[in-house]
């Protein structure tokens, strides 16, 4: 079932998610609903990389992550229950992030290049992941959600905020606002 994605300024996004004690059908059903919701959100110029349960109003430590970020048509996801970062690299990288809960706004965020994650799968079995680059960024972003943190919290300089123009290209938010003003004159 497709769920409504919670967007800012809804206060639930600032809620710390609760650890899931037991993975049962209700958790698996929620994960399946989250996958359907993410796929429903996809459109021509963008696709959802992942979704945390808090983003559909469920304060649980649960996320679904697309398996193939290079193929926006991919419908395969991995479910992570109670994910937590156990190690990060010293090497940091800055890149653009967006969020289904922050529509139309993107920002340059600096994060560790590599992370090690421990979690449980959709059957409650323990798993460990070592990821780098974009997958590492996605997992850090989703785990932030579980701690009540939004990617905008990492941005201290408004020149690092962007929107997407009608051609699907990034442009500074300040420019987007100027263009909106011109349209309404």
- Convert the pLDDT of each residue in 124-150 to its tens digit: 999 999 999 999 999 999 999 999 999
The count of domains in the chain is: 1
In a domain, 99, yes or no: yes
The per-residue pLDDT for 144 is 98
In a domain, 55, yes or no: yes
Domain hosting 99: range is: 11-183
For 19, the token pair is 């650890």
Q: How many CB atoms lie within 10 A of CB 90?
A: 7
For 159, the token pair is 């020149």
Q: Is 78 exposed, middle or buried (0-12, 13-18, 19+ CB in 10 A)?
A: middle
46, 91, 97, 142: the active-site residue: 142
Q: Residue 153 maps to which CATH number?
A: 3.90.45.10
In a domain, 5, yes or no: no
- Convert the pLDDT of each residue in 28-82 to its tens digit: 999 999 999 999 988 766 788 999 999 999 999 999 999 998 887 889 999 999 9
- Convert the pLDDT of each residue in 92-122 to its tens digit: 999 999 999 999 899 999 999 999 999 999 9
What value does the mean pLDDT take over residues 160-184?
65
CA distance 141 to 82: 14
Q: For this structure, is 142 an active site residue?
A: yes
pTM: predicted TM-score of the whole model, two decimal places: 0.89
pLDDT at 89 over 50: yes
């Amino acid at each position: 079932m497709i769920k409504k994605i919670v967007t800012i300024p809804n206060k639930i996004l600032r809620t710390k998610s609760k650890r899931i004690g037991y993975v049962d059908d209700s958790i698996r059903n929620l994960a399946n609903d989250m996958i359907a919701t993410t796929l429903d959100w996809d459109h021509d110029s963008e696709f959802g990389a992942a979704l945390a349960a808090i983003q559909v109003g469920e304060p649980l430590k649960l996320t679904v992550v697309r398996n193939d970020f290079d193929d926006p048509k991919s419908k395969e996801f991995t479910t992570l229950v109670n994910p937590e970062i156990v190690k990060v690299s010293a090497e940091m990288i800055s890149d653009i992030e967006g969020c289904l809960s922050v529509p139309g706004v993107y920002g340059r965020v600096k994060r560790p290049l590599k992370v090690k994650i421990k979690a449980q799968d959709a059957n409650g079995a323990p798993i460990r992941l070592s990821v780098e680059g974009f997958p590492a960024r996605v997992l850090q972003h989703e785990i932030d959600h579980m701690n009540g943190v939004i990617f905008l919290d990492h941005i201290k300089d408004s020149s690092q905020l962007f929107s997407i123009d009608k051609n699907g290209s990034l442009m500074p938010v300040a420019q987007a606002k100027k263009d909106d003003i011109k349209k309404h004159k």
